Amino acid sequence: MMAKSNTVSKFKQDNKTAYLLLAPIVILLTIFVVIPFFYALVVSFYDWSFYQESKFVGFRNYYLVLTDDLFLESVWTGLKFALMVVPAMLILSFLFASVVKNLSPRFSGFVKTSIYIPTIISGIVASVIFVFIYDYTAGLANYILGWFGVEPVAWLAEVRTALPSIAVPAIWLGFGLTSLIMLSGLHDIPESYYEAAELEGAGTWAKMRYITIPLMRNVILYLLVTGFTAQISQFELSLVMTNGGPLSETVTPNLYILNHFRNDVMVGNSIAASLLLFVVLGSISAVIFRVLNSEKAVDG
Amino acid sequence: MKTLTATQKTIITVISALVTLAALFPLLWVAIAGFKERSEVLATPFRFFPKRWLVQNYTDILGDWTFVQSMLVTFGGAVLFATLSLAVNAMAAYVFARLDFKFKGFLWVYVITTMFVPGMAILLTSFIVVNKLGMLDTLAVLVLPGVASAGHMFFIRQFYLNIPLALEEAALIDGAGRIRIFTGIFLPMSFPVFVIVGIGSYLGYWNSFVWPTMTITNPHLFQIMQYLYTFRSERATEMGMLMAGSALSALPTIVLFLIFQRHIISGIKISGLK
């Protein structure tokens, strides 16, 4: 595969063709990403309104956001949510991938296809399904609790259970892809390592501890970071399932921002909030990108 | 690897079957609930299968022209979106993978940086932009804003970088133009990467919800997720129909995935993870 030089430099530069083929992507990105981004940057310094003259207010919007308890709470909610979803999802899919790896090829093909299906389901449909599962009187969740003689729970209406209840569909949606990425990571570990370890008398646990986990480090790290950014940004599930309730217990940062967009007075605020969030999430994904890009360049 | 004993094999097979069933269960359940009688959907005690299998909910929702229309419009939009997206991003991917030109470094950074702008930060200002362009309530507002994607471009470029130079050198020496080489050599080889990126675009479009609710008010252009969301708040009592509609809305995606599943699943390997 290619090493450094990716361009056929021995052939002359071809500016015209290059610009012609690049024009669509550059124009579209400029109109729909770059301009809105700089526009947002500007608006974040204004007391902005659809209906009247905007006023320059400096960093006041940022100040207001950072001192708004509701925003800080939403960030905390987003963190709690990610902490519920990501570790659970990673552990489950790691264990499951280890099991699937040993299946006969025919059956594992079927399993891989099936577990991937939830990944392609929309947040809206997932929410509709899980709202029914959590239904107080007729839902599956309380029906199963009933087997053990436990009183029914108002899953989405109780402060204690609302956020974990939304975490479950998030895990369901992400489990398939995570497992398949784990599985392909497991397949990349040479079988000879395990054989050698077995000759030395290593048990299942030792093999996992000293071979599998260290060699899976990059995959797990990647999934951890992408998982965290994705889950902190989650808002569709809480929008549809609880609309942020009860008592804004399930308002994630993006839902906070979305709710404020609807409120004209708060537009500058919420844009400032989204830019603050952008700095954090954007730098995280920039780091991932650097790591992936550099590895690609190194072993090419 | 040590061969597993028969018991171990049975155990892992049973575990896998159970997990698979659990993963598919919510979807099966919603599809089956669509066959229940209206009063039975939320009846206690909970029953998995309907007492009587009725197609009423399915025929009702399919008889609702807004639903059918939004399925068709969303499908058409998604196919158009995926096609345009492949065209725009593949051209750029090819240029960045193979051509040498002035300002290459700058343009690369310009395009790639857009990848890190989260949608939520520009949601409102994008709305203002499309409003100023007079695009509200048109198909263009649904399709155009997402077509160019630095992420997809990057993914296709990684694939192009791995195509051996030797393949095009002969053609270049024979005097074939760059565009000829792109359409004649690169495009025909792009199938595996196009399946993954194309399905990704299709899915993103099909499942999108916030953007359509902001930009579309004309019911003729309602997108399917927007339809379901509106249905849920306006016709809250018709649970059976909502179940049937949700199941049907997932169907085209699932069929498409099943057609291309082998490419998609093997593609997870080439997504650049080590």
Mean pLDDT score, A4-26: 75
Where b means 16+ CB within 10 Å and e means fewer, A265-276 reads ebbbbbbbbbbb
What contacts A118, CB < 8 A, 6 or more positions away?
A126, A172, A173, A175, A176, B23, B24, B26, B27
The average pLDDT across A210-237 equals: 87
Residue A4 has pLDDT above 60, yes or no: no
pLDDT tens sequence across A55-76 = 888 888 888 888 889 888 999 9
Given an 8 Å threshold on Cβ–Cβ distance, is B207 in contact with A270? Answer: no
CB < 8 Å from B in window 181-240 of A: 181, 184-185, 187-188, 191, 194-195, 198, 218-219, 222, 233, 235-236, 240
pLDDT confidence of A265, banded at 50, 70, 90?
low
Mutation site for A-interface testing, chosen from B28, B100, B127, B161 by largest number of A Cβ within 10 Å:
B100
Percent over 90 (pLDDT), chain A: 42
Question: Is pLDDT of B78 > 80?
Answer: yes
Q: pTM of the full predicted structure?
A: 0.89
Q: End-to-end alpha-carbon separation of chain B, Å? A: 22
- Residue B266: per-residue pLDDT: 81
Query: What stretches of B34-176 show up as alpha helix (H) in DSSP?
Result: 56-63, 65-98, 104-113, 119-132, 139-147, 150-161, 166-173
The model's confidence at residue A295, banded by pLDDT at 50, 70 and 90, is low
Q: What is the pLDDT of residue B264?
A: 87
- The amino acid at residue B192 is P
By C-alpha distance, the chain B residue nearest A43 is B125
- Closest in A40, A128, A137 to B121, CB measured: A40
Q: What's the pLDDT at B272?
A: 47
A181 or A3: which leads in pLDDT = A181
Taking 90 as the threshold, does the pLDDT of residue A169 lie above it? yes
Residue B273 — very low, low, confident or very high, per pLDDT cuts 50/70/90? Answer: very low
**Average pLDDT, integer, range B135-144:** 96
Average pLDDT of every residue of chain B: 90
Distances (CA, A) of A34 to A19, A79, A298: 19, 29, 31
Q: Among A167-171, A267-271, B55-59, whose mean pLDDT is lowest?
A: A267-271
Q: Cα dist. B250→B216, B224, B254 in Å?
A: 21, 10, 6
Position B42 pLDDT exceeds 80: no
Residue A12, pLDDT above cutoff 60: no
Q: Is the pLDDT of residue A292 over 80?
A: no
Whole-number Å distance between alpha carbons of B241 and B199 = 28
Of B80, B76, B61, nearest to B247 (Cα)?
B61
Range with the lowest mean pLDDT among A28-37, A214-223, A237-246?
A: A214-223
Interchain pair A102, B12: CB under 8 A = yes
Determine the straight-line distance between the first and last CA of chain A, rounded to whole angstroms. Answer: 6
Lowest mean pLDDT among A119-128, B165-174, B226-235: B165-174
A297 band by pLDDT with thresholds 50, 70 and 90: very low
Given a cut of 80, whether residue B45 has pLDDT beyond it is: no
* Residue ranges of A 57-86 with Cβ closer than 8 A to chain B: none
**Are B143 and B83 within 8 A, CB to CB?**
no
What interface predicted TM-score (ipTM) does this complex get?
0.91
Chain A hits for B120, CB-CB cut-off 8 Å, are 233, 235, 254, 257-258, 274, 277
Q: Report the residue of chain A nearest B178, measured CA to CA.
A: A17
Place of tokens 């025919």: A106
Partners of B272 on chain A (C-beta within 8 Å) are: 292, 295-296
Is residue B176 within 8 Å of residue B111, measured between CB atoms? no
How would you class B155 by CB atoms within 10 Å of its CB: exposed for 0-12, middle for 13-18, buried for 19 or more? buried
How does residue B90 score in pLDDT terms, banded at 50, 70 and 90? Answer: very high
Closest chain B C-alpha to A169 CA, distance in angstroms: 10
The size of the A-B interface in CB pairs under 8 A is 295
Res A201: pLDDT: 87
Q: pLDDT band for position A299 (50/70/90)?
A: very low
Is the pLDDT at A300 greater than 60? The verdict is no
B252 has a chain A CB within 8 A of its CB: no
* Sign, Cα dihedral of A260, A264, A270, A274: positive
> Residue B189: is its pLDDT beyond 90?
yes
Q: Which residues contact A3 (CB under 8 A, 6 or more apart)?
A: A300
Residue with structure tokens 């939830």? A118
The C-alpha atoms of residue A218 and residue A292 are separated, in whole angstroms, by 10
